[in-house]
Structure 1
Amino acid sequence: MTNPLTITVEEMLEEKNKILIDLRSPGEYRKGTIDNAMNIPILDDEERAIVGTIYKNESRESAKITGIHHVSARLERMTSQISGLLKECPCVILFCSRGGYRSGPLVQLLNSLEIPVKQLVGGYKRYRQVIIEYFEAPMKVNHSFIVIHGYTGCGKTTLLKQLKSEGHPVIDLEGLARNSGSVFGFIGHSKEKMTQKQFDSLLFHQLIHLKNQYIIVESESQRIGDITIPREIHRQMVAGKHVLLHTTLDLRIEQIMSDYWGVLEHDEADIQKALGDLVKFLGHEKIHQLQQMLSQKSYREIARELMVSYYDPLYCHSIKKYAYDLEITYDTINEAHKKIKKYIWQMTDNFGVSTEENAFNTENVSD
């Protein structure tokens, strides 16, 4: 018989209008949670450590009693907060690590007070298992990708943002990872470090939302900074359709200035350090020159030198690994935008999915 106070992970994923509450400690929450879940911890990090030590060194019963003592101090506030959330949304789901001692008793208590919340069966552990099974099952993971390639500064990220704003099925992997994958990958991204678990969660939700559509991504190696793209997803990216962008070095430099001008001075100390990490590639003399340019705020000159001496040679090998379904040479980013939109429309039409279903707007698309 189905328990009316519980909901499975699969049912939760299908539920469109819901509020998820992560009852775990702030430290557990930061390492990874369910997409869009809010943290209302039953125990803070210190309290959780204390209860865990008692459980290990004394007994389960002693740990329970200590946990109840800590929870009781904040129970009234939690009850009021969760009750308020039910006024915003009729489906409020609580979860802890395994769907056990933290979420179970609280869900029972709240329902006894006529606060109708549900408990996620298996908790966060079960949710993680569903994600892992999804990424590790080749027959289940069956996405089609259009992959955009090009040297640094050719506007790949700008194009992704434009296409996404128009309703195209885009996943910005670097945005999810908060890193662009190189020694300067932190520039322009949030300082808050992305964990592998949270990246997996964000990617999983975007993939299941887009389902069978052609998904537009930027070309990436399997690793983006400290984050790893799941192997099966990366394999399908490699097996996808590939588009190569070409433009001049001067236009690429201007694109870099446009993308990063607002953060260059703010991140100057970190950029100095990153330049130091390139000594083994460029040598001490070249790095010293670049660091002097940075102190003089000669950003365009730095961008030009790094492209010619570091980025272009680095990416030349990876670009040559692919046979391209389309190559676009352009003088303005808008020109590239129109051409890639036309290609996406053609691929979607051939794929047998209506443009309406994919929210593709083909107006003003020209050769």
Structure 2
Amino acid sequence: MSRRNCQDFRQLFINDTPLMDMRAPVEFEQGAFPTSINRPLMLDEERQAVGTCYKKHGQEAAIALGHELVHGEIKAERVAQWKAFCEANPNGYLYCFRGGLRSRITQQWLKEAGVDYPFVEGGYKALRRFLIDTIDEVATKPMTLIGGNTGCGKTIMVNEIANGIDLEGAANHRGSSFGRYVTAQRTQINFENVLAIAMLKKQAAGVSHFVYEDEGKIIGSVSVPLAINHAMQQAPIAIVDDPLDVRLERLLDDYVVRMQRDFCAEYGEQQGWDRFAAYLERGMFSIRKRLGFQRYEELLLVQQQAVKAMQANGELSGHYDWLSLLLEQYYDPMYTYQLGKKADRIVFRGEYADVKAWLADNCA
């Protein structure tokens, strides 16, 4: 018995349904969905040739060229890849850009190979529209922000509470000058897709009041969706006031210990250390103008010496020196200034555990 082509986008995303993306690689790289795998009907050059033919000679000629480009062994190889995906993911779906010709051709070729596999009605375009609308709709719901100086554990908290939405996690960037990870940051489209899916899952779990970290308009290289950003400008803020020593421990673990481990795991020991040192230096370099060049040079030297000591004998104490100065002389004054403009929206202040308890009592 064959399954029907999918029109229930909400359940598709909530259930992490496997998706086979039939678009060309260049389309997939610009944006896709977390559970999708690219198994294109046509490669980039083939798609471009068919598109040019369509503009000059019409659909019938374009379809004929497509069949000419994808036939014989090439067709057999691609159908074999599709069939393997379908057999590994019997509850999945395939999609192309609009749920049109590419989806129907793929579906037909699979049927000829003995596999009846459904596609997503409306394709990528409809799925993408649904996720954008989800973000806009969730932006109208009640929200509270978690604020506080760098190192107060705001991102940790939004991941610990049931109604928290991790914007930085969706962006795969921590939002600061040292915020990148070893893995690349998501594209704007993929950031929005991951964010919307997280929202859908929270709604399915019964969440109606959302909690976000207090963010600016930009997280690394991506922009917070306008609807969310605008709502955040009016939202109440709960401030985490943790002491400096607690914050330093969090930053040491986040920016130093974990990043050194991840770089070495990804690139091997020597190259990992080199890339880790370069990551820290780039973070400092990106704020050199705000630090002032003399202070920048002084902090950079302390940072470089700390990395050498860490590599030589595992000593971490040197990192406290540049991290504490960075907090006291740069991040804390900057955030205090920014928070001063939001003073009328502060509804609670306390240490980490106090803020978490207050959110549970007032923002569920």
Question: TM-score, normalised on structure 2?
Answer: 0.80
SS in 2 for 1:204: helix
**Are the structure 2 counterparts of residues 280 and 344 from structure 1 closer, same or farther at C-alpha, using a change threshold of 3 Å?**
closer
Aligned residue for 1:209? 201
Aligned identity (percent) is 27
> Do structure 1's residue 299 and structure 2's residue 319 form an aligned pair?
yes
Aligned residue for 2:91? 91
8 Å contact from structure 1 (residues 145, 215) kept in 2: yes
8 Å contact from structure 1 (residues 17, 91) kept in 2: no
What is the root-mean-square deviation in Å for CA atoms of aligned residues? 2.8
Cα distance, 1:127 vs. partner? 1.8
**Which runs of 5 or more structure 2 residues have no equivalent in the other structure?**
261-272, 307-317
8 Å contact from structure 1 (residues 5, 107) kept in 2: no
* Structure 1 stretch displaced more, 283-292 or 62-71: 62-71
Cα distance, 1:225 vs. partner? 2.0
**Are the structure 2 counterparts of residues 22 and 9 from structure 1 closer, same or farther at C-alpha, using a change threshold of 3 Å?**
farther
Aligned residue for 2:336? 316
* AA matched with 2:362: M
Aligned residues: 332
Aligned equivalents of 1:258, 1:151: Cα separation in 2: 16
Cα distance, 1:246 vs. partner? 0.9
* Structure 1 stretch displaced more, 282-291 or 111-120: 111-120
**Are the structure 2 counterparts of residues 142 and 112 from structure 1 closer, same or farther at C-alpha, using a change threshold of 3 Å?**
farther
SS in 1 for 2:280: helix
Aligned equivalents of 1:15, 1:277: Cα separation in 2: 38
Question: TM-score, normalised on structure 1?
Answer: 0.80
Aligned residue for 2:177? 183
Cα distance, 1:296 vs. partner? 0.7
Aligned residue for 1:146? 144
Alignment of 1:1-367 (within 5 A): 6-8=5-7, 10=9, 13=12, 16=15, 18-56=17-55, 60-72=59-71, 73-136=73-136, 141-161=139-159, 163=160, 168-186=162-180, 189-211=181-203, 212-262=207-257, 263-264=259-260, 265=273, 266-297=275-306, 298-320=318-340, 321-322=342-343, 323-329=345-351, 336-337=352-353, 339-347=354-362
8 Å contact from structure 1 (residues 153, 255) kept in 2: yes
Aligned equivalents of 2:193, 2:277: Cα separation in 1: 32
**Are the structure 2 counterparts of residues 270 and 228 from structure 1 closer, same or farther at C-alpha, using a change threshold of 3 Å?**
same
Aligned equivalents of 2:350, 2:15: Cα separation in 1: 39
**Are the structure 2 counterparts of residues 302 and 70 from structure 1 closer, same or farther at C-alpha, using a change threshold of 3 Å?**
farther
SS in 1 for 2:128: helix
Cα distance, 1:181 vs. partner? 2.2
Aligned residue for 2:270? none
**Which runs of 5 or more structure 1 residues have no equivalent in the other structure?**
330-335, 352-367
Cα distance, 1:314 vs. partner? 1.7
Aligned residue for 1:360? none
SS in 2 for 1:118: coil
* AA matched with 1:197: I
